[in-house]
Amino acid sequence: MTVAVTEHVGPYRVLHAGDPDGPSPWPGQFYMLAAAEGWGGGRDERPYLPRAFSHLSAGDGRLGFMLEDIGPGTHRLAQLQAGDVLWLTGPLGSGFTPPSDGRRALLA
């Protein structure tokens, strides 16, 4: 998957990536993200495990993720720019159907 747009939102970084053929995520599901380059496969690189993120937005063939640069793995994800390749696995987990009567779901 290719990163389409990145933006700064306060201390966070938002990545939008194209996913035109992927299944739509349900509330409560998540994705595993990893950078295709510089993710521990090269000489003297630390191997990183993919990082789990809930989707910020989904629609129009795109997925959005908000992340904070707080460690080596999220630092590498925060460095991604438009056109970079993002490895993505998901949606994972058991989603849920949001209430249809206008109430908001509370997750604890």
pLDDT tens per residue across span 6-39: 999 999 999 999 988 889 999 889 999 999 887 7
Q: Would you state the pLDDT for residue 42?
A: 65
Q: Would you state the pLDDT for residue 47?
A: 65
Quote the mean pLDDT of the chain. 89
Query: Residue 43: is its pLDDT beyond 70?
Result: no
- Does domain 3-22+34-92 correspond to CATH entry 1.10.3470? no
Predicted TM-score of the model (pTM): 0.85
CB-based burial label for 22 (10 Å; 0-12, 13-18, 19+): middle
**Which one, of 4, 50, 56, lies nearest residue 25 by Cα?**
56
**Which one, of 64, 2, 71, 62, lies nearest residue 35 by Cα?**
2
Say if CB 63 and CB 88 are below 8 A apart. yes
Q: Would you state the pLDDT for residue 44?
A: 65
